[in-house]
Amino acid sequence: MAGAYGGPEVLSVIDVAVPEPRSNEVRIKVRAAGVNPFDYKSYSGAFGVDPERLPVRLGVEAAGVVTAVGADAIGPAGPIAVGDEVITYSAPGAYAADIVVPASSVVPKPVALSWEQASGLLAAGVTAVHTLEAIGLGKGETVLIHGAAGGVGLVAVQLAVARGATVVATASRGKHDLLRELGAIPVVYGPGLADRVRAVAPEGVHAAADLVGTEEAVDVSVELVPDRLRIATIAGHERGARAGIKLLGGVPGADPGTEIRQAARLQLTEAATAGRLRIVIADSYPLREAATAHREIMAGHTTGKIVLVP
């Protein structure tokens, strides 16, 4: 949790009582919790510094085992029982050893995924689905995905390839082999990016997804994609607003995509169960080292997801 606003140094682990689940609630023994940019932004001041919000309990997704259920504990996939292996999203306060969450946020854990992989599936996954829906990506089209080697990016690449699209993916050179394995055409970001994209996609780019939030990502997308309504950003909201592209997420003026994201949870678990979706874990830290995990994700160079293990 964060007892003050600031950097990762304000984080601490404390002991709190875990309540019994009420009607339509579930208690989960957490085996792993996903780390997302929203987590550190929640105490950095990016969303304001209202003292009434302190302390801030962190985390939005986790995987674990159900240890207790309230009456009528029915999730999106049906009734939930003690002993079920599950994923929960959205789950405020997921950085914990045990959490109580609404049954509506709980879906079955795919057997094919490890606890760490399962904990990193849904936040990134639903964001990727929302982004591809927002830009209307279809079979036979070419899409430019910025930040393709991050947690959201790797899922977006796989889902776009599964739709029958050609994916041009920006990333540092060391991540290109992985992107090729997943079916993308990797290009290095930085000066000259637009020309490099044109070289690998001579017939043009139909849509673009900015998953990194840089001005370059927005500017190159606007330069290459004729229809600005087929460009979306999940992070470059200020620049995106000026450019007239679609803004996605929880900030003012952005499309939260609530229904799309909720429906996507079972789609993602089904794809992972069938082996059609690979979740890459960049690193795993003990819960007490959450500050170190946050410093790593804030640097912006991870490949895949970072997770915490209680």
In this structure, is residue 293 part of a structural domain? yes
Residues 185 and 210 in one domain: yes
CB 89 within 8 A of CB 265: yes
Looking at the structure of the chain, the number of domains it has is 2
Given 247, 263, 292, the domain boundary residue is 247
In this structure, is residue 165 part of a structural domain? yes
pTM of model > 0.75: yes
In this structure, is residue 265 part of a structural domain? no
Given 229, 247, 265, the domain boundary residue is 247
CATH classification at residue 209: 3.90.180.10
Residues 17 and 46 in one domain: yes
| Collapsed DSSP state (helix, strand, coil) of residue 102 | strand
Residues 47 and 67 in one domain: yes
Given 231, 247, 263, the domain boundary residue is 247
In this structure, is residue 75 part of a structural domain? yes
Residues of the chain with pLDDT under 50: none
Residues 180 and 165 in one domain: yes
C-alpha to C-alpha distance for 123 and 265, rounded to whole angstroms: 9
- Which pair of tokens denotes residue 281? 């874990």
Q: Alpha carbon 111 to chain centroid distance?
A: 20
| Collapsed DSSP state (helix, strand, coil) of residue 305 | strand
Picking from 114, 147, 188, 141, the residue whose alpha carbon sits closest to that of residue 37 is: 147
Instruction: Look up the domain containing 165 and give its range.
Output: 125-247
Residues 102 and 81 in one domain: yes
The reported pLDDT for the residue numbered 300 is 87
In this structure, is residue 29 part of a structural domain? yes
Q: What backbone phi and psi angles, to 5 degrees, belong to 124?
A: -65, -40
Q: What is the chain's Cα-based Rg?
A: 19
Residues 146 and 240 in one domain: yes
Parallel, antiparallel, or unpaired: how do β-strands 166-170 and 185-187 relate? Answer: parallel
Residues 138 and 224 in one domain: yes
Quick: pLDDT tens for 41-55: 999 998 899 999 999
Which single residue is written with the structure tokens 């080697």? 149
Residues 136 and 178 in one domain: yes
Residues 114 and 139 in one domain: no
C-alpha to C-alpha distance for 106 and 73, rounded to whole angstroms: 10
In this structure, is residue 271 part of a structural domain? no
In this structure, is residue 46 part of a structural domain? yes
In this structure, is residue 270 part of a structural domain? no
Residues 219 and 168 in one domain: yes
- Which pair of tokens denotes residue 155? 């899922």
Residues 115 and 173 in one domain: no
Residues 129 and 221 in one domain: yes
